[in-house]
Amino acid sequence: MSNIIYFDNAATSWPKPKETLEAMERYFCDIGASPGRSGHRLAIEAGREVLATREALAEIFGTGDPLRIVFAKNATEALNIAIFGLLKPGDHAITSSMEHNSVMRPLRAMENRGLELSVIPCSLNGELSPDDVVAAIKANTRAIILTHASNVTGAIMPIAEIGKIARDHEVLFCVDAAQTAGVLPIQVKEMFIDLLAFTGHKALCGPQGTGGLYIREGLENIIRPIQRGGTGSKSEFEAQPDFIPDKYESGTPNTIGLYGLGAGVRSVLDRGVEHIRNKEIGLAQHFINGIKAMPEVVHYRCGDISKQIAVVSFNIKGMSPSDLTLILDETYGIMCRSGLHCAPSAHRTIQTFPTGTVRFSFGYYNTVDEVNFSLEAISKIISSK
Amino acid sequence: MSEVKRYQVVLFYSVSHTLRAEKLLKKEKIPIKVIPIPRHISSNCGVCIRFLEEHREQIEKALEGRVDFDSIHSFNPR
C-alpha cells in the first residue's frame, strides 16, 4: 500500500483518469490557442474540443442541445449565475436546510435585497419531505433550489419527486449536482430540472476550475448574466449577446481545463455511472459496517445505504474532529476533511454544529484494503485515547 | 482552363454554433471548410463555414431545426 490514502473525493476527486492529463497535455503541447476567437487552425481546433466537452456533458445529463451547457469555473459560480441571474426582490424561493454555502450564501445575499426565502428543515438524518416543499409554495414562489446530495452526510434528495412538484406548480427547479454529477444518474428532462449546476473537479474527473450550468431552453431570456465582456461573437456591438452560451461566457475560458473535463466525462461515460456508483457505495458500506462495530464511533447516518452517496460523516466520542484528522494524516497517511464542510446549516440539521464531523469521501480509485487500513487506524486511535 | 468554383458562406451567432454545424455537416459528408469571416461580409471576429454554391440546399436542410444560423452570403476568393 502506498503511504497516502485519499478519502477526500467530495472536495476534489484524486487521482484522475490518465485520459484527463493526456488531454490537457495535448492542449498544452500542440494547441495552446484561444477557442472561439481567432480564425486560424489552432483556434478552431481548440473550439472543436471545447464543443466536444459540451457534447459529452449533454450526453451524461440528457440535455439534448449541447449549446445549453454554459461553462463556469465551478458549481459555485454556476449557482451564482442561476440565483443572482434569475431571482428578483419580491420573489419567493425555497431551499432545504441541508444546503452547502454555495447555495445558502447567494440566497442569503438575495434575501438582504428583498428575496423571500423558505429554508425547509430536514430530519436528523438529513431527509427532506416533499410534502413540506409543497406546503411552502406560494403565489410568488419563483424557484426551488436544492442539492442533489449532501456533502456532509451523503443523503440523496428526492430530486425527481421535487422536480415534478416544481413543474406542476410552475416553479423553476435548480439542482446543485456538485456531489452527484458523474456518480448518480442525472437526466434533466425526466427529473424536470430547469437549471443544473455541476462542477468538473469531483466525480466528473476533470481538473479544478471547470464546471457549468445547464439552462433549459427559453430560460436564457429571463436569466441575466453576472459578468459581461468579450465573447468572440457579435463583436461589432457593445451590448452583451443575448444567446446561449455566449451570454454567460465572457472572457477567454479555461481551455486546458475543459480539455481535461471532456476527457474526464468521457471516461465516466465509458465506465458507466452505475458501475462507478456501485464501486464507491460498496466501499462506503464496508466502512460503515466497520465503524458500526465500534461503540466509540458516532456515525451520522442517512438511513438506507441506497439513499446516500459515498460520503460518511462520523466522530470519535470525546475527540475533536480536527484532532482526529491530524492523527489520521500524520500517523496513518489518511487524507480526509474535518469541520463544517462549508455547510453550517446541514450541521445544524444533524446537530453537529459548531463542532462538525470527520468526513471520509470515497472515490473510484479507492480500495477495500485502504478502507480496512483506515478501520484499523480508527480502532488503534480509540484504544490509545 | 478549369471551371471557376463558386463559393458561399454561412454565418452563425457564435463559434460554438459554427463548430456544432461543422460537425453535423461533416457527418452528412458535405464538403465544407471553417474559415475566418470575410471582412467585407461582417466585422465579426469569428469564423464561418464555406461551401460550394451547389450544396446550399443540402446545407440548409441539414441545419434546419438543429443549429440556427444567421445568414448566407456569396463568397468568391480572389
pLDDT (0 to 100) of residue A385: 82
Give me the number of domains chain B comprises. 1
Nearest partner of B10 among A230, A233, B27, B42, judged by Cα: B42
> Could you tell me if A148 and A101 are in contact, meaning their C-beta atoms sit under 8 angstroms apart?
no
Chain B residues at the A interface, defined by Cβ less than 8 Å, are 13-20, 22-23, 34-37, 42-47
What's the ipTM?
0.86
CB atoms < 10 A from the CB of A296, how many? Answer: 16
CATH architecture of A18-271: 3-Layer(aba) Sandwich (3.40)
CA of B18 vs chain A CAs: smallest distance (Å):
9
B59 within domain boundaries: yes
| Cα first-last separation, chain B | 16
Question: Residue B2: pLDDT band by 50, 70, 90 thresholds?
Answer: low
B66: in domain: yes
Query: What's the confidence (pLDDT) of residue B40?
Result: 87
Query: Which residue in B14, B22, B37 is closest to A36 by CB distance?
Result: B14
Task: Point out the residue among A39, A66, A234 whose CB comes nearest to the CB of B47.
Answer: A39
Q: What does the alpha-carbon distance between residue A52 and residue A71 come to, in Å, rounded to a whole number?
A: 13
Architecture of domain A5-15+272-383: Alpha-Beta Complex (3.90)
Do the domain assignments include residue B68?
yes
Residue in A closest to B15 by C-alpha: A36
| Greatest Cα pair distance in chain A | 71
pLDDT of B8-50, one tens digit each? Answer: 999 999 889 999 999 999 999 999 999 999 888 887 778 999 9
Q: Collect all residues with Cβ–Cβ distance below 8 Å to B68 and sequence separation of at least 6.
A: B12, B13, B17
Check residue B78 and give its pLDDT.
58
pLDDT greater than 80 at residue B74: yes
Q: Which of A44, A231, A234 sits opposite B34 (nearest CB)?
A: A44
Contact state of A67 with B36 under an 8 Å Cβ cutoff: no
- Residues of chain A with confidence (pLDDT) below 50: 1
* B14/A245 Cβ within 8 A: yes
Given a cut of 70, whether residue B1 has pLDDT beyond it is no
Q: What is the mean pLDDT of residues B69-77?
A: 88
| Structure-block grid coordinates of residue A29 | 503541447
Residue B7 inside a domain? The answer is no
In a domain, B36, yes or no: yes
Whole-number pLDDT of residue A1: 47
Distance from CA of A181 to the nearest CA of B (A): 23
Residue B17 lies in a domain: yes
The Cα B56–Cα B45 span in angstroms is 24
> Closest Cα to residue A217, out of A107, A58, A78?
A58
For B70, the closest chain A residue by CA position comes to A234
pLDDT at residue B77, rounded to an integer? 66
CB contact under 8 Å between A66 and B20, yes or no, is yes
